[in-house]
Chains A and B, each alone.
Chain A
Amino acid sequence: MKSLDVFALAWHALIAHRRRSALSLVGVSIGVAAVTLMTAIGQGARDFVAAQFQTIGADVIAIVPGRVETSGAIPGVGSAPNDLTLEDARALVRGVPGVVRGTPLVLGNEALEWRARRRDVLVLGTTAEMLELRGMRVSTGSFLPAGDWERGSAVIVLGAALPAELFPGEEPLGRNIRLGDRRLRVIGTLAPRGTHLGVDLDQAVMIPVATAQSMFDTRSLFRIMLEVSSASAVPAAQRTARDLLTTRHGEEDFTLLTQDAVLQSLDRILNVLSLALVAIAAISLVVAGVGIANVMLVAVSERTREIGLCKALGATERDVLSQFLAEALLLCVTGGIAGLGLGSLATRVLAWRFPAWEAHAPQWAVVGALLLSVVVGLISGAWPARRAMRTEPVTALAGRRA
């Protein structure tokens, strides 16, 4: 029997039982749609998080106080970590070969006031190097003045969203604005930057690091950022920085973060999450397969006479087997293609509803979902098809259920 004829005959049989076929089809397409949608969501989440962390920059090392890694020591026992200080930051910038620029960072929250308007903002105490290091752009005026980090001048740079919110219809540059109990002169505004690592930079203000330290009454830094000449120079710079700081502190009471390390551990977590999502979706495809197996079993016992007749007309066992396999396969592949359409529609709705998500199913998921539906078709069709194949023509023609 020619394979084209096998499929034509299978199609014929499916059309003849169109309601039942349609129901199995819906099952498979929902399964396939779920797989593509879930992969799209997983992929979207990964891209989103990765994009957030990529802005650290591949050539940036961040140093945070405290040891993050697990150690053998009992928590609370042993010395408290030393603070990171401005001197540490300066020593690192000077002493680590390959470092192009570095900047200290102090973080705090404070109320920003202009006339009757008041707003709580995130305060970043930093230096002129920050602009270049984080790839920020100035919209009007200038950024923090370069030079002595210890000099705490009374100036402030506003995040992109703040001028419109605090100075509607006014020019903020040159104004003396109140931040906490200080009066600071606005010297610049930033170009929009958006949310970054959960921090909305557009809603933040930047002030000189020394000003921030005295405002928050602290000597310690939130972190130190070092930019290295190239990503390939990062490992060497990381080693030198660790040695240098360990010598200064007498112990390794800080943690060095690089984008690579952060991304790698994130990737592991997100991979597990995506896999879990896809596995849940795949279960629905398996359920659809069970449905198809059931429908095919009904079809086989319903068409016992037909099978007997086909054998009497000279169909081989293989013809009968491939006939029912082809039906299951057609159901699954048609359902699979419909499911891909449904899935991409759902993904589009998702993307339209949550633009930041950028969910799209990767190519391997599309191909994989289709392959999976073929496999489900073959497996769920195999058992009923074998039953059909084994049907004895005589019993079948007599209409007895074998």
Chain B
Amino acid sequence: MIELTGLSRRYVLGGETIRALDAIDETIRSGEHLAVMGPSGSGKSTLLNVIGCLDRPTSGSYRLDGREVAGLADHDLARLRRREIGYVFQAFHLIPRMTALENVELGMLFDGVARNERRERAVAALERVGMGARAHHRPGELSGGERQRAAIARAVVMRPRILLADEPTGNLDQASGRAVLELLDALHEQGLTVIVVTHDPGVARRAQRVLVLRDGRIVRRMPAVELRSLDEALAGAVP
């Protein structure tokens, strides 16, 4: 369970303070499938980064399964990122000089998993996303959809409980995007908490619940089935 209380993230940019997140209060249940929407600059990516321990809140509280995360040291944050949280990025972020298999192994490397076990688990993870045959290809030799599937394999190989995806289909064509979304759905069904940041209502509708952000605040919470378009959601928002 993710509990955010009065969570704020401010940047100082050119002498001006930007409130990327402004006193967010929200609870996300374990096993929930959540979509976060909003116009660009609304703070939805920042929210995902703070939840993923990639960014630290300026103030407020972030409790993960009852444990306060905001003040943790680098070592403990790294362990959370390693074991509890998986990421999928819009730009895939695979290391180009490594094969898909080696990319998937990377997280286990940081966790000190032995070489043989690493290989086994990476192969299994790639097979689960239908990439078993492409394991020894470098990212440059893979299509966008294949790269994102390899990235998903990397995100889940440490068996995290939370999967965070930032515009996972943003760089993909329709068919590859659908395959990636089906993978995320399947992972949710296996019990993962899945949080997807998107501006695409078609993606958001696959979730259970939608948060709509504007100017660093949550302006609307709604069941995903009620979502028709982002503009409509924003229009109906209570500021």
Contacts and interface: CB of A to CB of B under 8 A. Distances in A.
B87 A310 contact: no
A399 to B, nearest CB: 8
B54 A312 contact: yes
A393 B55 CA distance: 7
Nearest to B75: A316
Contacts of A306: 95
Contacts of A317: 74, 78
Contacts of B66: none
Given A309-B95, A313-B154, A2 B78 contact: no
A312 B151 CA distance: 12
A interface, over-half SS: helix
**Most chain-A Cβ atoms within 10 A of its Cβ — which of B54, B82, B87, B98?**
B54
A20 to B, nearest CB: 13
Interface in A314-371: 314-319
A311 B93 contact: no
Interface string A185-225: 00000000000000000000000000000000000000000
Interface in A296-315: 305-306, 308-315
B112 interface: yes
A120 to B, nearest CB: 74
Interface string B149-170: 0000010001000000000000
A313 B54 contact: no
B216 to A, nearest CB: 15
Contact of A312 (B74, B83, B87): B87
Contacts of A305: 93
B95 A315 contact: no
B215 to A, nearest CB: 19
B52 to A, nearest CB: 7
B62 interface: no
A68 interface: no
B111 interface: yes
B112 A314 contact: no
Given A1-B109, A2-B112, A12 B98 contact: yes
B79 A314 contact: yes
Contacts of A2: 112
B54 A311 contact: yes
A316 B93 contact: no
Nearest to B114: A2
A19 to B, nearest CB: 14
**Most chain-B Cβ atoms within 10 A of its Cβ — which of A9, A13, A16, A314?**
A314
A12 to B, nearest CB: 7
Contacts of A309: 93, 95
Given A1-B109, A313-B107, A314-B107, A16 B97 contact: yes
A397 B93 contact: yes
Nearest to B76: A316
Contact of B78 (A9, A316, A394): A316
A5 interface: yes
Interface of A: 1-2, 5, 9, 12-13, 16, 305-306, 308-319, 392-394, 397
Given A1-B112, A306-B95, A313-B87, 15 more contacts: A1-B109, A1-B111, A5-B112, A309-B93, A310-B106, A310-B110, A311-B78, A312-B52, A312-B87, A314-B82, A314-B107, A316-B110, A317-B74, A318-B75, A319-B110
> 5 smallest A-B Cβ distances: which pairs?
A314-B82, A16-B97, A316-B78, A313-B107, A314-B81
Interface of B: 49, 52, 54-55, 74-75, 78-83, 87, 89, 93, 95, 97-98, 102, 106-107, 109-112, 115, 154, 158
